[in-house]
Amino acid sequence: MPDMLKKYNEEVRGELQKKMGYKNVMQIPKLTKIVISSGMSSGCERDAFAEAKKQISFFTGQMPVITKARKNVSNFKLRVGMPIGVMVTLRGRRMYEFLDRFVHNTLPRVRDFRGISPKGFDGAGNYNVGVPDVAVFTEVDQDKLKYPLGVNITMVTTAKTDAEARELLRMLEVPFAE
C-alpha cells in the first residue's frame, strides 16, 4: 500500500470528518484521479510526440495516449484528427504513488520553491498545477531530453467546494504558498 494512501486512510479521513463535521463517511472528500497532460504545437514533428510519451511514462509509470484534434481551427492550421498532445490518467495505487513522489521528491527540486499557488482551484473542488519543465522529475534523464516539455497536473477530488479540496490536499502534505 502506498504511503500516501495509508496516510489518507489512517489520519486524513478521521481529521477531515471531525473538522468539517461530516455525519456520513461517504461525505469525506477523496482523491479520484490525477490527469497529467501536455499540449504540443500542431507544427511539431511526429518524433516529438513519441518523445513526450516516453518522458511522461518515465515519471508516471503508465503509457500516455496521444490526443487528437476534434475540430478544424483554421487560424492554427489544425485539422480534425491531427495529434495535439499527450495525456495519462492515474487512479488507485499509481495515483497515490505519483502524488507521494510529486510532493516529496519533485517539488523540492524546483528552484526557489516556496509552495504551489493556491489559485489553481476550479470552483468544483479540483486543482490544477503546471510544471514548466519535466526535468525536475527525478525519473527523467535531463541529457536525453530532445524537446522542451511542460505538463499540466490536474488533481480531481470528490470535494464539493474549493475549501474542502484545499483542506484535503493540505492534509496530504501538498505545499501551498501562503
CATH of the domain at 90: 3.30.1440.10
Predicted confidence (pLDDT) at residue 78 exceeds the cutoff of 70: yes
In tens, the pLDDT along 53-66 reads 888 888 888 999 98
Residue with more model confidence, 70 or 140 = 70
Structure-block grid coordinates of residue 141: 534523464
What is the H or E stretch that residue 60 is in? helix 46-60
In tens, the pLDDT along 113-141 reads 888 888 989 888 899 999 888 878 878 77
103 found inside a domain? yes
Predicted confidence (pLDDT) at residue 22 exceeds the cutoff of 60: yes
What pLDDT is recorded for position 75? 79
Report the distance separating Cα 172 and Cα 21, nearest Å: 19
Task: Name residue 31's beta-bridge partners.
Answer: 157
166 found inside a domain? yes
Which pTM value belongs to this model? 0.87
Predicted confidence (pLDDT) at residue 42 exceeds the cutoff of 60: no
Predicted confidence (pLDDT) at residue 41 exceeds the cutoff of 80: no
E strands, the chain, are 31-39, 65-68, 83-90, 127-131, 151-157
What pLDDT is recorded for position 97? 92
- Give the pLDDT band of residue 67 (cuts 50, 70, 90): confident
The domain total for the chain is: 1
Structural domain for 50, as ranges: 3-22+31-170
